[in-house]
């Protein structure tokens, strides 16, 4: 090859490569103490990080090296977004990214709290990363996302940019289905021309074939189904996932007596509604017991077994301990607080329990505080040292482990099923062929005698 021609080809290749791959990344960093100045906010400092001067309900913009970020509230009446404690805290609204004359190819979020419902107007937003090709990108924030920094990558306009793979399962990212009920696989879609591979991390719950069709395997629990594609000449690599959770209902029935060691729901009824308590949030060490409401005054409550809403009440010394579904003891801390404390360590004191003529139970702590539902119109359970307006003592609903709630069809075992398929009990545990009782095989329930 002619030396001059070779040099020309090499130079041309270098020019094309630099044109295709030359990209710029801009960081919007909200961790520094003066990051609020990006949006023209004043009155905040490292010694005053939570000033209301950091709140804004109108649109605010910041431009860094050719890229502009605009934060807009969902409505003018929505709660203020704010710069707070080293984060851009967006309760609702939109983040609009523009790079005039450029092509945005990637937006990566670093977040302390991230709402899984956040969406992008174009391209795909998956696992806090947007990929695509656009001059303007709008990210819809569903609520309370605390963002530490955002990296925005753009290329010169007209630069050949690989397209997003756009892998997606319809109905995601989470699907719940009651065990034994009909299930239709979510549709899988893609834009990429590259091959897609699928996998399940729990094949006792659900499997997925090479076309992305998901089939329930009979067990309970959660199977994370993933799809992935490699990068090719036209498309970026891509991933998508959907979590399929199979559950059964647990039935709780109103109790008239307390049996040590049994799991119960704390229940109250007011007007024409029934309320049952949730445990204190897993990331908290104290709080009220918030509640779920059911229309009507009912004597039985069905709760998905994926929820840990029950409390196990066990005799101990001169009283009872109360342990929630997260294995934490429930007690009343020192002082006049009306909230519960929770700890994995057993407290020194125990609750005394007194059944009442109206079917309720009085749970009292040695300091004189006792459990009540509702301080005036609040629908939560707390601890008080006096009767409250519209307050009521809790009832107990006990778990009925022999109930068959959630079993839609039960049929005798017969030869129509694949006898080599795995068997599972109602707890989703694999069992052998000698197991007697209700089993699940090939996604169907039957009785083995």
What is the per-residue pLDDT for 156? Answer: 78
What is the per-residue pLDDT for 33? Answer: 72
Mean pLDDT, all residues of the chain: 82
What is the per-residue pLDDT for 17? Answer: 40
pLDDT per residue over 345-382, tens digit each? 999 999 999 999 999 999 999 999 999 998 766 789 99
DSSP state of 163: B
What letters, b where the CB count within 10 A reaches 16 and e where it falls short, cover 129-166? ebbbbbeebbbbbeeebbbbbbbbbbbeeebebbbbbb
Q: What is the mean pLDDT of residues 295-314?
A: 91
In the block, which residue shows the tokens 């594609």?
229
Percent of the chain surpassing pLDDT 90: 46
Instruction: Say if residue 87's pLDDT is above 80.
Output: yes
What is the per-residue pLDDT for 407? Answer: 38
Tell me the pLDDT band of 396, cut-offs 50, 70 and 90: very high
Provide DSSP, 33-46.
TTGGGGGT--S-BT
- What CA–CA distance (Å, rounded) separates 79 from 210? 46
Percent of the chain surpassing pLDDT 70: 78
Q: Where are the beta strands (DSSP E) in 332-414?
A: 340-343, 352-355, 361-364, 370-373, 380-384, 395-399, 411-412
Tell me the pLDDT band of 91, cut-offs 50, 70 and 90: confident
The residue among 3 and 80 whose pLDDT is bigger is 80
Residues 6 or more apart from 286 whose CB is under 8 A from it? 280, 333, 337, 339, 340, 341, 342
pLDDT per residue over 316-330, tens digit each? 999 999 999 999 999
Instruction: Say if residue 416's pLDDT is above 50.
Output: no
Q: What is the mean pLDDT of residues 147-158?
A: 86
Instruction: Say if residue 441's pLDDT is above 70.
Output: no
Instruction: Say if residue 279's pLDDT is above 80.
Output: yes
Instruction: Say if residue 421's pLDDT is above 90.
Output: no
The radius of gyration computed from the CA coordinates of the chain, to the nearest angstrom, equals 29
Determine contact, residues 204/276, Cβ cutoff 8 Å.
Answer: no
pLDDT per residue over 19-53, tens digit each? 444 789 999 998 887 787 888 777 666 566 555 66
Per mean pLDDT, which of 73-82, 177-186, 412-421 is the most reliable?
177-186
Tell me the pLDDT band of 125, cut-offs 50, 70 and 90: confident
> In the structure encoding, which two tokens stand for residue 9, read together?
């080809």
């Amino acid at each position: 090859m002619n030396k001059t021609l070779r040099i020309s080809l090499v130079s041309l290749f270098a020019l094309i490569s630099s044109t295709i791959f030359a990209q710029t990344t801009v960081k919007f960093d909200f961790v520094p103490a003066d990051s609020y100045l990006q949006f023209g906010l004043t009155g905040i400092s490292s010694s005053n990080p939570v000033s209301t001067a950091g709140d804004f309900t109108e649109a605010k913009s910041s431009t860094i090296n050719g890229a502009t970020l605009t934060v807009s509230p969902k409505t003018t009446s929505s709660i203020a977004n704010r710069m707070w404690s080293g984060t851009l805290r967006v309760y609702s609204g939109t983040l609009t990214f523009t790079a005039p004359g450029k092509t945005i190819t990637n937006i990566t979020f670093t977040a302390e709290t991230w709402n899984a419902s956040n969406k992008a107007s174009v391209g795909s937003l998956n696992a806090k990363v947007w990929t695509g090709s656009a001059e303007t990108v709008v990210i819809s924030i569903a609520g309370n996302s605390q963002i530490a920094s955002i990296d925005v990558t753009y290329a010169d306009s007209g630069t050949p940019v690989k397209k997003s793979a756009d892998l997606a399962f319809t109905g995601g990212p989470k699907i719940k289905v009651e065990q034994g009920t009909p299930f239709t696989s979510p549709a899988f879609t893609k834009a990429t021309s590259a091959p897609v591979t699928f996998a399940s991390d729990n094949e006792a719950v659900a499997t997925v074939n090479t076309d992305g069709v998901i089939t329930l395997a009979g067990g309970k629990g959660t199977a994370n189904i993933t799809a992935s594609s490699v990068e090719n000449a036209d498309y970026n690599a891509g991933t998508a996932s959907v979590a399929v959770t199979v559950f059964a209902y647990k039935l709780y029935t109103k109790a008239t007596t307390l049996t040590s060691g049994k799991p119960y729901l704390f229940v109250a009824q007011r007007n024409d509604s029934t309320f049952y308590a949730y445990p204190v949030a897993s990331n908290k060490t104290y709080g009220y017991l918030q509640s779920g409401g059911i229309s009507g005054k009912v004597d039985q409550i069905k709760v998905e077994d994926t929820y840990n809403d029950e409390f196990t009440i066990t005799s101990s010394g001169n009283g009872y301990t109360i342990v929630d579904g997260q294995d934490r003891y429930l007690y009343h801390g020192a002082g006049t607080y009306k909230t519960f404390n929770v700890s994995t360590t057993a407290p020194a004191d125990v609750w005394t329990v007194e059944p009442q003529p109206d079917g309720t139970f009085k749970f009292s702590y040695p300091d004189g505080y006792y459990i009540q539902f509702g301080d005036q119109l609040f629908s939560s359970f707390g601890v008080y040292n006096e009767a409250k307006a519209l307050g009521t003592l809790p009832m107990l609903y006990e778990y009925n482990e022999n109930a068959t709630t959630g079993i839609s069809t039960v049929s005798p075992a017969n030869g129509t099923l694949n006898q080599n398929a795995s068997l599972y009990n109602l707890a989703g545990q694999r069992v052998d062929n000698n197991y007697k009782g209700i089993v699940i095989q090939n996604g169907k329930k039957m009785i083995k005698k």
